[in-house]
Amino acid sequence: MVDYKEAISKAREPVDTLLENAEAIWTTLGFSGEELADRVLDMVEKFEAVCTPLLTAEKAFLEKKRGETEALKEKAGALAREIGLETRVDAALPILEQFAATQRELERLQAAQRKKAEELAQAVAEAEALGLKIGEEVMLGPEATMEDVRAEVERLEARQKRQADELRELVARVEKEVERMGAEPAKYAVPPDVSGIEGVRTANQRLRQLEVLEQERMGQVQKIRARIKGMVAELGETLEFRLAMEGEITGVDDGLCILASNKENDRFIRDLAKYDGKRTQHVVGSARFVAHMQQLEEEYTKAVAEKQKRVGRGRGGGSRRAATDRDARDGARDGVRDGPRDATKDGPREGGRRREAG
């Protein structure tokens, strides 16, 4: 700590020496009291003339440093309020020490401000990244505070949660449609690592693709029905279908199509009943229904070809089935049931299904 008394004592030494020397001179001269008073007054005036500017300069320096210190304190205080901290400068310190302490405090506050600004910028960047991910505009102005960012992030996270729920629902719809339509799962799957707005867009895109596929299938079925309708007109009748019994010959005769007994044809027969009269988009757009219609068209095509072959041979409408049916009708009078039986049921053409165009 500076010893001001010692410093002042050293400043007084030359003054005291000057006065002592003046006293010795004045004693030697033997001035009268009046003359001595004049000499002392003259010396004091000259001394004041020299010292007053020096003292004025010191006072000016004091006021300058006091003003600089107060300005620095105001700056530090404003910054402290802005970033939510307090200043830590002892007002009892001398002005120059206050100034130095305030400078150090301002540097501390500025460092804290930079840190907060970096944290705010990072938080804003994270909020914007979240907004971009979920396709939501971030509502933050240039003067946004950390509290504003936290509130916005809460809003975005709530939207993200709703979007995640929406995505799960869309993915479930896609999977359900893929299963219903018999589409290729891998082709229409929504990648599990895709989320946010990209996931929602991908899922909606898959649904649109499935809708296009469904429309294509409906158009395909419509064309198949038109062709089958034409073949029904050419045959003059719709066909009935059943599976062949053991040892029975397969083929088409007299409106009855006897199919080989296998899993594929068994499913075809069951689908005849399942799809009978069904024309809804939900059914028509499925792969199984399209395959069923294609097989139905194929069987009608075979029947038309067989009829044309018989006509070409000059057999007209006669057939093995016609003779068989005549025998069956004759036998019916003796208690024999009419027509070949289904593999599982009795009755006239029991198990047979008549199908025109799905």
In the chain, where are the structural domains located?
Answer: 31-118, 146-213, 215-355
Of 237, 217, 205, 240, the residue nearest 317 (C-alpha): 237
Of 331, 332, 330, 350, the residue nearest 340 (C-alpha): 350
The predicted pLDDT at position 314 comes to 66
Q: CA 319 → CA 151, 197, 313, 316, 342, distances in Å?
A: 85, 66, 12, 8, 21
Which uninterrupted H or E stretch holds 351? none
The predicted pLDDT at position 186 comes to 93
Of 226, 236, 249, 351, the residue nearest 303 (C-alpha): 236
**pLDDT less than 50: residues of the chain:** 316-353, 355-357
CB 347 within 8 A of CB 356: no
The predicted pLDDT at position 104 comes to 94
The predicted pLDDT at position 11 comes to 83
Per-residue pLDDT of 23-77, as tens digits, reads 899 999 988 889 989 989 998 999 899 989 999 999 999 999 999 999 999 999 9
Write down the H helix ranges in 84-193: 95-134, 146-181, 185-188
The predicted pLDDT at position 317 comes to 47
The predicted pLDDT at position 126 comes to 96
Inter-helix orientation angle 263-274/287-312, to 10°: 110
Of 354, 331, 332, the residue nearest 254 (C-alpha): 354
Reading the block at residue 69, the tokens are 């210190």
Residue 146, SS3 per DSSP = helix
CA 34 to chain centre: 104
Alpha-carbon span 163 to 193, nearest angstrom: 15
Alpha-carbon span 269 to 285, nearest angstrom: 20
The predicted pLDDT at position 83 comes to 87
User: 243 forms bridges with which residues in the sheet?
Assistant: 259
pTM exceeds 0.85: no
Inter-helix orientation angle 196-235/95-134, to 10°: 10
Alpha-carbon span 132 to 155, nearest angstrom: 14
Of 168, 201, 294, 357, the residue nearest 286 (C-alpha): 294
